[in-house]
C-alpha cells in the first residue's frame, strides 16, 4: 500500500436538469418510496442491482452518455418531476405532520434516540440484525410522524460481517470495507469548512472523533467515527466492526456512543430534553449529561443532578436472556472512569454501585442496571417481554410486587412501506383508503381489505413467491460456484424449489434458543411432507450465527448438510449472508413465516410482522409479539404457551416438534391446497385477510413510535423542561426534596392499622384506618395507599390494587397522622389488606422508582 500525499473528492457530473437526483440519493426517504426506487432503477437496472440498490454509487458509476440520454428523455424527466414533487411535499416545513397537528411546531429536535446499530437499507451495512432493523424502522416512522427527533450511532468501517459457507457448510466471515465516499452518508463540517471533530476521553486517550450524517426523510442520524490519522491505532480501529473485538473494545465503543453522542449534541447546539437509550449500550450518556449539568450548576451534587436528569431519560430493554446483557468487570471500569467519578464527586465504590449486579460469587458492572436506575421510564418490547423483564429485574425493587415493577411495554412494529412489495402496495392503493400509507394505525382502513377480490390478492402474492424462488435459485447458484461445488450441483440449482409450492420461510439470527432445526427433529416425517407430489412443501432458511457462537454455526451446517441429501435437495435451501435484501425477498414471497423460539426467550421479533402486509401467514411458538397477536383465524400457534425448565428442554423439543408436524399435516397444508373451482384457496385467503385486518393497524412502527411519543417522550420532555427551564430553580427544589426524603425515610413507620368490620357481606362497606409516624416529613411529602386483593393458597395478596387513602388528621399529643379509606366489595371471597407509604411529589415520575416503600 502507498500512502497518498493528497486526496481529492470526485463527484458525479450530472447534467443540470438531473441535479436533483443527487438530493434524492442522499436522503434515505428513497428507501421506502417505490416511485423513487423505480426512478433510479430506470437509469440502469443491472447497475442498480450491482451497487446493492445504492443510488449514490449508481450516479458515480453510470456513464455520462446514459445520464445525457436520460436528461433528453421526456418520459424520464416526467418521472423525475413526479418523484421530486412527492419529495418536496414530504419535506416541506408547511406539511402538517402528526406531531404538528398534536403538539405544534418546534425549532430544533429535542428527542435524542441512541442505538448501537441502524438497519436502514441494504447498501448501508451499519446493522447486524433485529435491533438494528428496529432502530432503522423507528427512525423512518419518526420522520413520517414529523417528530423533533435526532438519531445517534456509530459509523463502522466494516460493519457486521459478510457470511459465506465453506465446502463443508460451515459459516465463515469476511469483513468488506464500506466505501463511504459512494454511500448515502456525508461527513459533517464546521462553518469554517473544517471537519467537525469531537474529543472523547477513552481511558488514557483523547479520541478525536469524526462525524457523519445520514438524512432519513425529515430526521438526521449522526454517526461517530474514530478512523482518523490523529488517533493511535487502538482508538482508530475502535469503529472498525459492529460488536467486534473483546470486552475492552466493547466498553470503548459504548463510551464513544454514550459520552461522545452527548458531546456531539452539545457541539450541534442540540440539548435534548428527552433521551431514549435503545438497549443499554448507550447508558454512559447518563453520566455525561449529569457531568455537564453539575459543571453548569456548581451547587448540585451528583445525586441531585441525577434526580433532575432522570426525569428526561427513557430506557428500552431488548433482551430477556441474561447472557445477552452488557456487563463488565471492574478492572475495565477502573481503567476507563477514574477521571469521571472524580468529576462527579463520587468515590470508586459509589461509582461501581451505579451498575453493580451480583452474579453469584462475584459482581459485575451492568449497563442495564445503571440505565434502569437513571431512567424515569423503562419498557420491554412486547407485552410478554414486559412481564418477563419485571420478573428479571425484580431484585432491584425488593419491596415492590412483581406486577408493579416500573417496567412497561411498547410492542415493536415494522415500517410498512420499507417492507411491503410494490405489487401489494399497488393493490392497497386500488382498494384501501390512501391513508394506509400515512396513518396505518387506523383499524377502519384495514377493514377494507375485504374489498380486495380474492383472485387479485392471491395473484399478487403468487407473483412475489415466483420472484422469491427465482432469487433463491440465482443466489444458490452463486453460493455453489463460490464454494467450488461440482458442475452438476451448480446446474441443479436452477431446478430447486417450486414456484407453485407451499413455501415456508425461517430467517433470523442463529442463536440456539431460536431452534432453527426443530423442524428436522423427525426427518423421515418431514421428508414425506416435502416430497408429496400433490401437496409439496418447501423451506427456505437464512441467518447468521455470531462469529464466536460455534453451536449456532453447527445449526447452519446441519441445515446445509440436510439440504444436500437426495430427499431434501429440491425442497430445502439455505441462503447465505442474510441481510435486508434477502429479508425483503423472503417476507414478500413466503406463504408461512415459521418461528420456533424457546419461550420466553424471544423479546418480540419483527420478521413475522413483515409478512402480514405481504399476504403471508405466521406459524409460531406463542412468544414475543405472537403471544399477543395470535388468533386462530389468522395463523397458527405451536403449543399453548407452555414454559419448560432447562432439564426438560429435550422433552420440550420433542413435544413442540410433534405439534409443528401435526399443524403442517392437519391444518396448514390442507388449507393451502384445498382449491375452489376457480383454483383459489378460499380458506387460506380468508386467513390472509383476517391477518391483515386484525394485525395491520397495530404491528407497525407508526403506532409504536406514536405510543413512545405519547407515553414516554412527551411526558419526559415535560418533566425535564419544568425542572430546568427557564432556570434550574424548580429542579434544585425537587432535588433538595429528594435529598430530604432519602435522609429522613428511615424514620417513617406505620404504627397500626385497623380494619372494620372483619367480616362483611356483598355491597357492605369496610373501613381501613392507618396511623403513621412521618418523622420529619409532612403529609404532603408522602402518599399512603391501601393495597388489597385476593389471597393465594399461602395467604399472600395476588396482583393487588393500590388506592390512595385520605388524610384525616394529626392525633392529639402525638406524631401520628391518621389516614382512612372506605371500600365497598361487590363480590364474595377471601380478601387481604395492607397499607404502604411512598414518597409523593408532583415532579416525581413514579414513586416506586425511588425504591422507598414502607409496608404495614
The half-sphere exposure of 515 on its side-chain side, counting CA atoms within 13 A, is 23
Residue 829 sits at φ, ψ, to 5 deg, of 130, 170
Tell me how far apart the alpha carbons of residues 427 and 444 are, in angstroms, rounded to a whole number. Answer: 17
Contact present, 812 and 802 (Cβ < 8 Å): no
Contact present, 269 and 276 (Cβ < 8 Å): no
User: DSSP secondary-structure letter at 116?
Assistant: S
Q: Show the cell assigned to 588.
A: 414478500
Q: Show the cell assigned to 320.
A: 430477556
Tell me how far apart the alpha carbons of residues 138 and 276 are, in angstroms, rounded to a whole number. Answer: 12
Q: Show the cell assigned to 551.
A: 453451536
Q: DSSP string spanning 177-232?
A: PP-GGGSS-EE-B-TTSSBPEEEEEETTEEEEEEEEEEEETTEEEEEEE---TTS-
Other Cβ atoms within 10 Å of 106 Cβ, number: 13
Give the pLDDT score at 4: 65
Give the pLDDT score at 814: 83
Residues 6+ away with beta carbon under 8 Å from 260: 198, 200, 207, 209, 224
Tell me how far apart the alpha carbons of residues 247 and 31 are, in angstroms, rounded to a whole number. Answer: 35
Give the pLDDT score at 9: 56
Give the pLDDT score at 712: 98
Give the pLDDT score at 469: 98
Give the dihedral of Cα atoms 605, 647, 324, 368; nearest 10 deg. 100
Residues 6+ away with beta carbon under 8 Å from 278: 113, 114, 115, 116, 131, 134, 135, 138, 316, 318
Contact present, 410 and 316 (Cβ < 8 Å): yes
Length of the chain: 856
Q: What is the pTM of this model?
A: 0.96
Contact present, 500 and 477 (Cβ < 8 Å): no
User: DSSP secondary-structure letter at 292?
Assistant: H
Question: CA 693: distance to chain centroid?
Answer: 24
Q: Where would I find the H helices in 72-161?
A: 74-91, 98-103, 130-145
Contact present, 518 and 656 (Cβ < 8 Å): yes
DSSP percent split of the chain into helix, strand, coil, nearest 5:
45, 20, 35
Other Cβ atoms within 10 Å of 334 Cβ, number: 14
Tell me how far apart the alpha carbons of residues 535 and 674 are, in angstroms, rounded to a whole number. Answer: 10
33: helix, strand or coil: coil
Tell me how far apart the alpha carbons of residues 39 and 24 are, in angstroms, rounded to a whole number. Answer: 10
Residues 6+ away with beta carbon under 8 Å from 378: 314, 315, 316, 317, 371, 372, 406, 407, 408
List per-block mean pLDDT (blocks of 10 residues) for the chain, which spans 856 residues. Answer: 58 87 98 98 96 95 94 97 98 96 96 98 93 97 98 95 93 93 96 96 96 98 97 96 92 98 97 97 98 95 96 95 89 97 97 94 95 97 97 95 96 98 97 96 97 98 98 95 89 93 96 95 96 97 95 96 95 97 98 97 96 98 97 96 95 97 98 96 98 98 98 98 95 96 96 84 85 95 93 84 94 88 78 92 95 94
Tell me how far apart the alpha carbons of residues 315 and 263 are, in angstroms, rounded to a whole number. Answer: 19
Give the pLDDT score at 13: 80
Give the pLDDT score at 833: 87
Residues 6+ away with beta carbon under 8 Å from 651: 644
Give the pLDDT score at 11: 65
Contact present, 457 and 615 (Cβ < 8 Å): yes
Give the pLDDT score at 791: 84
Give Rg (Cα) of the chain: 29
Q: Show the cell assigned to 326.
A: 452488557
Amino acid at each position: 500500500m502507498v500512502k497518498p500525499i493528497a486526496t481529492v473528492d470526485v463527484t458525479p457530473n450530472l447534467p443540470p436538469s438531473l441535479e436533483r437526483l443527487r438530493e434524492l440519493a442522499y436522503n434515505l426517504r428513497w428507501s421506502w418510496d417505490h416511485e423513487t426506487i423505480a426512478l433510479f432503477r430506470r437509469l440502469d437496472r443491472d447497475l442498480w442491482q450491482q451497487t446493492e440498490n445504492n443510488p449514490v454509487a449508481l450516479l458515480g458509476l453510470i456513464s455520462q452518455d446514459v445520464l445525457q440520454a436520460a436528461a433528453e428523455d421526456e418520459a424520464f424527466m416526467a418521472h423525475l418531476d413526479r418523484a421530486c414533487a412527492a419529495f418536496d411535499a414530504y419535506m416541506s416545513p408547511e406539511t402538517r405532520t402528526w406531531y404538528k397537528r398534536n403538539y405544534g411546531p418546534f425549532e430544533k429536535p429535542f428527542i435524542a434516540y441512541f442505538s448501537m446499530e441502524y438497519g436502514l437499507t441494504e447498501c448501508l451495512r451499519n446493522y447486524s440484525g433485529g435491533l438494528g432493523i428496529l432502530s432503522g424502522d423507528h427512525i423512518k416512522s419518526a420522520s413520517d410522524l414529523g417528530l423533533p427527533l435526532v438519531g445517534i450511532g456509530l459509523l463502522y468501517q466494516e460493519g457486521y460481517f459478510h457470511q459465506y459457507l465453506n465446502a463443508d457448510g460451515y459459516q465463515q466471515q469476511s469483513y468488506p470495507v464500506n466505501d463511504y465516499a459512494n454511500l448515502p452518508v456525508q461527513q459533517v463540517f464546521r462553518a469554517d469548512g473544517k471537519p467537525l471533530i469531537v474529543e472523547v476521553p477513552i481511558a488514557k486517550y483523547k479520541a478525536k472523533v469524526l462525524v457523519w450524517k445520514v438524512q432519513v426523510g425529515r430526521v438526521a442520524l449522526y454517526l461517530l467515527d474514530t478512523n482518523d490519522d490523529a488517533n493511535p491505532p487502538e482508538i482508530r480501529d475502535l469503529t472498525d466492526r459492529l460488536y467486534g473485538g473483546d470486552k475492552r473494545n466493547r466498553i470503548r465503543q459504548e463510551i464513544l456512543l454514550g459520552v461522545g453522542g452527548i458531546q456531539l449534541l452539545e457541539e450541534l447546539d442540540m440539548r435534548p430534553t428527552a433521551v431514549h437509550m435503545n438497549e443499554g449500550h448507550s447508558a454512559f450518556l447518563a453520566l455525561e449529561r449529569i457531568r455537564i449539568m453539575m459543571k453548569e450548576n456548581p451547587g448540585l451534587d451528583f445525586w441531585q443532578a441525577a434526580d433532575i436528569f432522570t426525569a428526561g431519560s427513557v430506557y428500552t430493554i431488548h433482551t430477556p436472556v441474561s447472557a445477552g446483557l452488557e456487563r463488565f468487570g471492574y478492572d475495565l471500569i477502573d481503567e476507563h472512569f477514574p477521571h469521571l467519578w472524580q468529576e462527579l464527586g463520587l468515590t470508586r465504590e459509589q461509582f461501581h454501585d451505579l451498575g453493580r449486579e451480583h452474579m453469584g460469587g462475584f459482581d459485575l458492572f451492568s449497563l442495564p442496571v445503571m440505565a434502569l436506575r437513571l431512567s424515569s421510564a423503562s419498557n420491554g418490547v412486547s407485552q410478554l417481554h414486559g412481564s418477563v423483564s419485571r420478573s428479571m429485574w425484580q431484585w432491584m425493587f425488593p419491596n415492590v410486587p412483581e406486577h408493579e415493577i416500573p417496567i412497561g411495554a411498547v410492542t415493536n412494529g415494522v415500517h410498512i412501506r420499507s417492507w411491503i412489495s410494490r405489487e401489494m402496495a399497488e393493490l392497497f392503493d386500488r382498494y384501501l383508503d390512501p391513508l394506509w400509507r400515512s396513518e396505518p394505525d387506523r383499524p377502519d382502513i384495514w377493514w377494507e381489505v375485504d374489498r380486495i377480490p380474492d383472485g387479485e390478492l392471491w395473484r399478487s402474492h403468487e407473483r412475489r413467491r415466483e420472484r422469491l424462488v427465482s432469487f433463491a435459485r440465482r443466489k444458490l447458484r452463486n453460493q455453489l460456484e463460490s464454494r467450488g461445488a461440482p458442475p452438476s450441483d451448480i446446474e441443479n440449482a436452477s431446478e430447486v424449489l417450486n414456484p407453485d409450492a407451499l413455501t415456508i420461510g425461517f430467517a433470523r439470527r442463529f442463536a440456539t434458543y431460536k431452534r432453527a432445526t426443530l423442524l428436522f427433529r423427525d426427518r423421515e416425517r418431514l421428508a414425506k411432507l416435502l416430497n408429496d407430489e400433490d401437496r409439496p412443501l418447501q423451506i427456505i432458511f437464512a441467518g447468521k450465527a455470531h462469529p464466536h457462537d460455534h453451536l449456532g454455526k453447527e445449526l447452519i451446517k446441519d441445515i446445509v448438510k440436510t439440504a444436500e441429501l437426495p430427499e431434501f435437495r429440491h425442497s430445502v435451501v439455505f441462503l447465505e449472508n442474510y441481510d435486508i435484501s434477502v429479508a425483503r425477498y423472503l417476507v414478500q414471497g413466503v406463504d408461512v413465516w415459521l418461528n420456533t423460539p424457546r419461550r420466553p426467550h424471544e423479546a418480540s421479533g419483527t420478521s413475522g410482522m413483515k409478512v402480514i402486509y405481504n399476504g403471508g401467514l405466521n406459524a409460531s411458538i406463542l412468544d414475543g409479539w405472537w403471544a399477543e397477536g395470535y388468533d386462530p383465524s389468522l395463523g397458527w400457534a405451536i403449543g399453548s404457551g407452555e414454559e419448560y425448565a432447562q432439564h426438560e428442554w429435550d422433552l420440550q423439543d420433542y413435544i413442540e416438534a410433534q405439534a409443528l408436524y401435526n399443524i403442517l399435516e392437519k391444518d396448514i397444508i390442507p388449507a393451502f391446497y384445498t382449491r375452489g373451482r376457480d383454483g383459489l384457496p378460499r380458506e387460506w385467503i380468508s386467513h390472509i385477510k383476517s391477518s391483515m385486518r386484525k394485525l395491520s393497524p397495530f404491528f407497525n412502527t407508526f403506532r409504536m413510535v406514536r405510543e413512545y411519543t405519547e407515553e414516554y417522550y412527551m411526558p419526559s420532555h415535560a418533566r425535564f423542561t419544568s425542572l430546568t427551564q427557564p432556570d434550574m430553580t424548580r429542579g434544585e427544589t425537587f432535588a433538595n426534596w429528594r435529598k430530604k426524603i432519602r435522609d429522613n425515610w428511615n424514620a417513617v413507620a406505620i404504627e397500626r392499622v385497623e380494619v372494620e368490620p372483619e367480616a362483611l357481606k356483598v355491597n357492605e362497606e369496610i373501613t381501613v384506618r392507618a396511623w403513621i409516624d412521618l418523622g420529619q416529613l409532612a403529609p404532603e411529602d408522602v402518599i399512603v395507599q391501601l393495597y388489597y386483593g385476593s389471597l393465594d393458597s399461602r395467604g399472600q395478596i395476588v396482583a393487588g390494587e393500590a388506592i390512595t387513602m385520605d388524610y384525616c388528621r394529626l392525633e392529639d399529643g402525638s406524631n401520628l397522622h391518621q389516614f382512612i379509606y372506605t371500600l365497598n366489595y361487590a363480590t364474595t371471597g377471601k380478601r387481604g389488606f395492607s397499607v404502604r407509604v411512598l414518597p409523593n411529589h408532583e415532579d416525581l415520575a413514579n414513586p416506586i422508582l425511588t425504591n422507598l416503600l414502607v409496608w404495614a
